[in-house]
Amino acid sequence: TGVGSFVPPKILTNFDLEKMVDTSDEWIRTRTGIQERHVADKGVGTSDLSAKAALEALKNAKLLMKAGAGAVKLEGGRKIEKQIGVLIKAKIPVMGHVGLTPQSYQRMGGHKIQGKNDSEAKRILNDAISVAKAGAFALVVEGVPAGLAKKITKSVGIPTIGIGAGKGFKNHLES
């Protein structure tokens, strides 16, 4: 996939924090290991940061396409709509990936079935719909209950590929 990231240039050190609150560099470092952190300026939102990351991803995706890739695959849902849009405008085909997403599975509690409860299932369904509306040509649906996978397939209007999500797919990979 075309990967991009952006870190705000402004740095806040532990010494800067010492001037603001009752703490010390030593106290912070011994408990957290953190010496400095990057912070966004006031008024800069995460969507602004993600747009800059998308430009980096676009640059990397173009390199992949020049090397012979037929498309890029992006994991996520509503949070990556802008990135999908940027890539589509650049004529780079995008395949989406929802449910259990390998690049962030640790934040999901490991390799576990996603979407077991109603709120999680609704979020994943909405993520899938968002990815399709943003312009993805196909969607990987991984590690979700078979019923949710079928609902996603019926709702998105693009081809779906199931991985560990039941056998109700035209395109299915065994996990």
DSSP string, 48-60: HHHHHHHHHHHHH
pLDDT band of 133, cuts 50, 70, 90: very high
pLDDT tens figures, 95-112: 999 998 866 655 656 567
pLDDT tens figures, 36-52: 998 888 877 776 777 77
pLDDT band of 160, cuts 50, 70, 90: very high
pLDDT at 64 over 90: no
pTM: 0.66
Cα separation, 104 vs 155, whole angstroms: 24
Please tell me the predicted confidence (pLDDT) of residue 128. 96
Tell me which residues are annotated as active site.
142
Cα separation, 154 vs 104, whole angstroms: 26
pLDDT at 173 over 60: no
Cα separation, 79 vs 84, whole angstroms: 10
Cα separation, 164 vs 113, whole angstroms: 9
- Asked if residues 141 and 131 have their Cβ atoms less than 8 Å apart, the reply is no
Please tell me the predicted confidence (pLDDT) of residue 175. 47
Q: Among residues 34, 85, 78, which one has the least CA distance to residue 61?
A: 85
pLDDT at 65 over 70: yes
Please tell me the predicted confidence (pLDDT) of residue 72. 84
Mean pLDDT estimate for the chain: 83
pLDDT at 152 over 80: yes
pLDDT tens figures, 1-19: 456 667 778 889 999 999 9
Here the contacts of 37-42 (C-beta below 8 Å, separation 24 or greater) are 37/11, 37/12, 38/7, 38/8, 38/9, 38/10, 38/11, 38/12, 39/8, 39/10, 39/11, 39/12, 40/8, 40/10, 41/8, 41/10
